[in-house]
Amino acid sequence: MTKIALLDYGMGNLHSASKALATVGADVSITNDAAVIKAADKIVFPGVGAMRDCMAQMREQGIDQAVQQAVFNKPVMAICVGMQALFTESLEFERTACLDVLQGQVKKFDSAWQDQASEAIKIPHMGWNTISEMDLSHPLWQGIDEHAHFYFVHSYYCAPEDESVIAAVCDYGQPFCASVIKDNLFATQFHPEKSHNDGLQLLKNFVEWKI
């Protein structure tokens, strides 16, 4: 059974993520213990809340170093604010230095963007939306249909400098990066643990991912 370290720094949606991972066959430890993280086969890096507070909690508990080390030697999946934290900096409220694992900024949705009905988008982006432009031959997207629906809750989005890492896009007034894949790193802006069958399939794919 794949051992998953679900990182606990006081800012993650840990219960639902843990339950979903266990449902698809993972042995889950909710932890901020460096030894447990090191011993795990894979890492899941969740997050909710304001980036400034999240980064402060990560640094206080050493989660920032754990993630930066893990991305070099084992599969890592980051969710929502966890994905945003991987980038160089966030523009949420004030510039906040993030982990700089991926180069780019985290930007706020522009309220001038319009939806398909030519109405201004609502911020935060909350609820179900489709994703597209996935490489369906990649193991992480196995069993996921094109234009699959996932659950989003966010006011900020990631803008990678290297667009080749973008693994899926979502349209919310404008197309934005909904997922990234780089080597052993996988991240989603949406919440697979809240996305029913498609979300469980995606988590199962991560648990079974061989790299």
Residues catalogued as catalytic: 80, 191, 193
Residues 6+ apart with CB under 8 A from 62: 32, 34
Residues in the chain: 211
Which residues are 157's β-sheet partners? 107
Dump strand ranges (E) for the chain: 3-7, 27-31, 42-45, 76-79, 87-90, 96-97, 102-108, 125-130, 149-154, 156-160, 166-172, 174-182, 185-188
Beta strands 185-188 and 174-182 are antiparallel
Which residues are 156's β-sheet partners? 108
